[in-house]
Amino acid sequence: MLEPLYTADEARSAEQGHDVAELMERAGAALARAVLERYPDARRIAVVCGGGSNGGDGRIAARILREEGRDAVETTAVEQADVIVDALFGTGFHGEPRPDAAATIERINAAGAPVVSVDVPSGVDASTGEIAGAAVRATLTVSFHGRKLGLVIAPGLFHAGEVVVADIGLEPAETEHRLATPAILSVVPRKRPQDSKYTAGAVLVAGGAPGMAGAACLAAEAAFRADAGYVAVAVPASSLPVVETTLLEPVKLTWADAPAAAEKAHALAIGPGLGRDDAAKELRERLLGGGEQALVLDADALHELEPGPWGARAVLTPHAGELGRLLGESSEWVSAHRLAAVQRCAERFGCVCLLKGADTIVAAPGLGALIVLAEAPGLATAGTGDVLTGVLAAFLAKGVEPRLGAAAAATAHGLAARSLPQAGLVASDVVAALPSVLV
């Protein structure tokens, strides 16, 4: 359900008490096998080695590759190579490469050959995914013992290429941060024979200002497709005709009806198409202070949001720009420091924070992060965030704990999208695909 993700310190700790030379021999052999299996026709292999243990792994791999009849040499002259092995920096690297190393990295990236990185692409911080300067763009990363955290968090994620984990004989270890696998969907209760529509999870979606009613409709439909038993959607009176003609199953209400309807709901999804005028802010504050329901705050509900006593029952679902505004930072800063940013948000609001992206990161105060890899570029389209809001509200309405519920919702969302053609995908396609991933 949750796969360990190792920071540099955790990786070093896992190696404690083991013979370093023996571990390097196993690592070098695993690296050589990966190169031979992935690139069986490659003859000229340039191995770029640094001075640390990663360089040692690379040198051992080069020796084994030569024993297998390949022309494998330690060199920075990579331009004529069929494959390049990047063994320049190891998991302990952080910061910006020195100018000579940065120039070597640029040569690797410009060579046009497949690149196999050892443990982590050189220039990527193994513990955060952050990149301060030049960084190798790998085709394949061979990560020893377990995935490094920096391989699944952007921008490091986008430099890692395909990641394979090579067993070098170490025992599994506890890690602070984890990667969510599809098995996390097992935490979501399925409907039981004795359930009614109310006990199966009741959701209220509040939003749908004029011109944005579709956002509320997508969230409501997604909540039903994520197996909620009852869904109501509250929109301004002027949006009600649109919602009445778009939605069949959800109950349609106006904003004036929302506080009373919230009392019957198990989870409130506030924000899809909410708008930012005074009426929208007033509704948000009334719903935040009105009970003990689980809360999902997305989109306009995050605008000028301040911490409150509701934090422990809330999940915030910002993208990088929204999270930047919550923290008083730029979206560029958030994109460069995603793990730190989402953890800051969780601590500031005392809530679970889900930072959307190809690497969705779920953080909660005092706990390690959960990472969900969407692997579905088609999700980069309007409305898919509203779908995620509806799925998450359904899961929380069923009683799933917010941190696990957020990771499970992101997993279901990604799996549904991944089951579809990525070109031309629209948000309603993802809604329709949800039941197939919740079996």
In this structure, are residues 45 and 35 in contact, taking their beta carbons and an 8 Å threshold?
yes
The Cα–Cα gap between 234 and 244 comes to 11
What is residue 52's predicted lDDT score, i.e. its pLDDT? 86
**pLDDT tens-place values along the chain, 439 residues long:** 999 999 999 999 999 989 999 999 999 999 999 999 999 999 999 999 998 888 999 999 999 999 999 999 999 999 999 999 999 998 999 999 999 999 999 999 999 999 999 999 999 999 999 999 999 999 999 999 999 999 999 999 999 999 999 999 999 889 999 999 999 999 999 999 999 999 999 999 999 999 999 999 999 999 999 999 999 999 999 999 999 999 999 999 999 999 999 999 999 999 999 999 999 999 999 999 988 999 999 999 999 999 999 999 999 999 999 999 999 999 999 999 999 999 999 999 999 999 999 999 999 999 999 999 999 999 999 999 999 999 999 999 999 999 999 999 999 999 999 999 999 999 999 999 999 999 8
CA angle 72, 78, 96 (to 5 degrees): 115
CA-wise closest residue to 31 among 5, 55, 52, 9? 55
Strand intervals (E) in 34-74: 44-49, 71-74
DSSP type of residue 116: E
What pLDDT, on a 0 to 100 scale, did the predictor assign at position 47? 98
CB atoms within 10 A of CB 245: 9
For the record, the structure tokens of 425 come out as: 């995908």
CA distance 71 to 44: 5
What pLDDT shows up at residue 216?
Answer: 98
Q: Quick one: the chain helix, strand, coil %, rounded to 5?
A: 45, 20, 40
What residues does each domain of the chain span?
2-174, 182-437
C-alpha to C-alpha distance for 332 and 130, rounded to whole angstroms: 12
Biggest alpha carbon distance in the chain?
77
**How far is the C-alpha of 183 from the C-alpha of 384, rounded, in Å?**
22
Separation CA 308–CA 320 (nearest Å): 22
Contacts of residue 305, defined as CB under 8 A and 6 or more positions apart, other chains included, come to 297, 316, 326, 349
Instruction: Tell me the C-alpha to C-alpha distance, in Å, between residue 40 and each of 33, 34, 46, 193, 399.
Output: 10, 10, 15, 55, 51
The CATH code belonging to domain 182-437 is: 3.40.1190.20
Q: Give just the sign of the alpha carbon dihedral 198, 410, 173, 336.
A: negative
Around Cβ 235, how many Cβ atoms within 10 Å?
31
**How far, in Å, CA of 281 to CA of 58, rounded?**
58
pTM over 0.85: yes
Cβ atoms of 295 and 270 within 8 Å: the answer is: yes
Asked if CATH classification 1.10.10.10 holds for the domain at 2-174, the reply, yes or no, is: no
